[in-house]
Amino acid sequence: MAIVSPKAKIGRDVQIGPFCVIEDDVVIGDGCILESRVTIKNGTTMGRSNHIFEGVVIGGLPQCTGIDEVNSRVNIGSGNVIRENVTIHRSMNEGDATEMGDDCMLMVNVHIAHDCHVADGVIMANNVMLAGHVSVGARANISGAVGIHQYCRIGSLAMVGGQAHIVKDVPPFVMVDGVTSQAVGLNLVGLRRAKYTTEERKILKGVYKILYSKDLPWCEIVKKIEEQYTSGPGLEMANFISSTTRGIITARHSGTRTRGKADLQTKENETQEAEGMPDTIRLHVVGEER
């Protein structure tokens, strides 16, 4: 009942359900489970022990107008759970790949477009939509119905609330409110679960406070963060912030504009100041943990 190309490379103990279609240039690692109606298209390589549910399509042609068949790939790691009707498209560029790491969970109807890079341990809830060239850091958590604009980056251990529309980079360890699509502090619960120490969390609060400072233009913010944080999670956050090309999301109710290189275009932009964060937001930054 399944159609499996004799040219596909199928590992040991792989279970392939009814009505699945496995094309020629496919590699499936040991112990994978494919439920019914799964389609794995040319250019897909999959590691071990992935569980793929009904209606999933992996390796489809990018959704770009006028694009022809291209020799590109989708590379998927091991231990992932990919639920019903997920779609993952291969790269739009010859020889390049859309990539996903290990131990991720993609819930129903997630779409990962061409040339995205998803790191290990990422969770995406139902109906998350990644446009092309999106990067998602390790152990990030993206809630239901979130839409992410092309070329945006989601930092590691970030938490994005449901129905957010992300058009700028989300720094590592930051929590995003789904209603406003703005930062509301650090993902302290995620940091504790990931065993970040009290001192490390204190360092990250310091970076966050500088990032959303009302007193500094963008160029001074980047300089101050790079000078003060030269190791550990502070350095990770500093590197992410300094390398943004789309800008960084604002903080909720802070009055700040989007942080990013666009702020450097004119002196007028650099000198526009934000209003102070209300206490309810400031508690996420400098308040004592409970």
115 is catalytic: yes
Which of 29, 77, 102, 114 is the catalytic position?
114
- How far is the C-alpha of 248 from the C-alpha of 169, rounded, in Å? 5
Q: How far is CA 24 from CA 78, 147, 204, in A?
A: 21, 33, 48
- Non-local (6+) Cβ contacts of 220 within 8 A are none
Local structure of residue 108 (DSSP, 8 states): T
132 is catalytic: yes
Q: Which long-range contacts (CB under 8 A, 24 or more apart) does 134-139 make?
A: 137/172, 138/101, 139/190, 139/194
Which of 102, 115, 169, 263 is the catalytic position?
115
- How far is the C-alpha of 166 from the C-alpha of 182, rounded, in Å? 9
114 is catalytic: yes
Which of 29, 55, 101, 132 is the catalytic position?
132
Coil, strand or helix: which one is 286?
helix
Give catalytic residue positions.
114-115, 132
